[in-house]
Structure 1
Amino acid sequence: MTSDATHKVTVANRGDRELSVADGENIADACEAAGIAIPIACRYGGCITCAGRLVSGSVRQPKGTALNKRQSQDCYILMCVAQPKEDCVVEVGVETHTNLYRNPFLGPLK
């Protein structure tokens, strides 16, 4: 049995564009279909090229992705595998990626 449910996903840092994402669809595919450019590489959660930060709402995301524990705790998601469970706001862009990585020579993230 398939579901016709959709969830509204607002993509911050891309003009606060709103998408309608079908149940079971990942956010990256919905962005591409709507003409919203986000960086994507592996398409299976094996890298962090498409990482975004979940500002509100919740997503289904498989365990064993390239996100480490800190990144997951800081609400980062991989948009190529993240499927919204409810209406969400996600942040993408340079501002989001700035705190995604930790340079060990610069000390701990704040």
Structure 2
Amino acid sequence: MRRHKVTLVNRGDRTLDVAGDEAILDAAEAAGIALPVACRYGGCITCAARLLRGRVRQPGATALNRRQSQAGYVLLCVARPVADCAVEVGVESHGDLYRNPFAAPA
């Protein structure tokens, strides 16, 4: 299986060597990097990150709606790299993930 370089922005810009059939979250944990996680099957958005460059495939990422996907969000528990990529992780990446119900409509 092909391997790809995945850079985790906001975690010291650590770069991981991830197999194309391996979830990015699993590779991060194997490297000793703790990231937020809950369900581990794409059913929640706890592990959401923003894809800054590159491509991933994410079978089973049912928790993301169309707006979130179009904004570049991926779920690290199911995202597998298709090419070298960079993902912005942590709360710093969540600016457009949630909608403030008290804000004026966009």
The two structures share one fold, judged by TM-score above 0.5: yes
8 Å CA contact 1:52, 1:91 repeated in 2: yes
Instruction: Report SS of the residue matched to 2:36.
Output: coil
Moved over 6 A (4+): none
CA contact (8 A) 1:102 1:108 kept: no
Unpaired runs of 5+ in structure 2? none
Unmatched 5+ residue regions in structure 1?
none
Q: 1:11 to 1:108 in 2, by over 3 A?
A: farther
Partner of 2:52: 55
Instruction: Summarize the alignment of residues 29-44 of structure 1 with structure 2, pairs less than 5 Å apart.
Output: 29-44=26-41
Shift of 1:64: 5.3
> Could you say if the C-alpha distance between residues 64 and 39 of structure 1 is closer, same or farther in structure 2, counting changes exceeding 3 Å?
closer
- When normalised by structure 2's length, the TM-score is 0.94
Aligned to 1:7: 4
Q: Is the 8 A contact 1:50 1:79 kept in 2?
A: yes
How many residues are aligned here?
106
- Is 2:48 aligned against 1:65? no
Q: Which residue of 2 aligns with 1:80?
A: 77
How far 1:99 sits from its partner (Å)? 2.1
Q: CA RMSD in A?
A: 1.3
Quote how far apart the aligned CAs of 1:62 are.
1.9
Q: 2:98 — aligned with what?
A: 101
Q: Distance in 2 between matches of 1:98 and 1:35?
A: 26
Question: Could you tell me how far apart the structure 2 residues matched to 1:91 and 1:105 are?
Answer: 26
Counterparts of 2:28 and 2:52 in 1: how far apart (Å)? 17
Identity %: 67
Q: TM-score scaled by structure 1?
A: 0.91
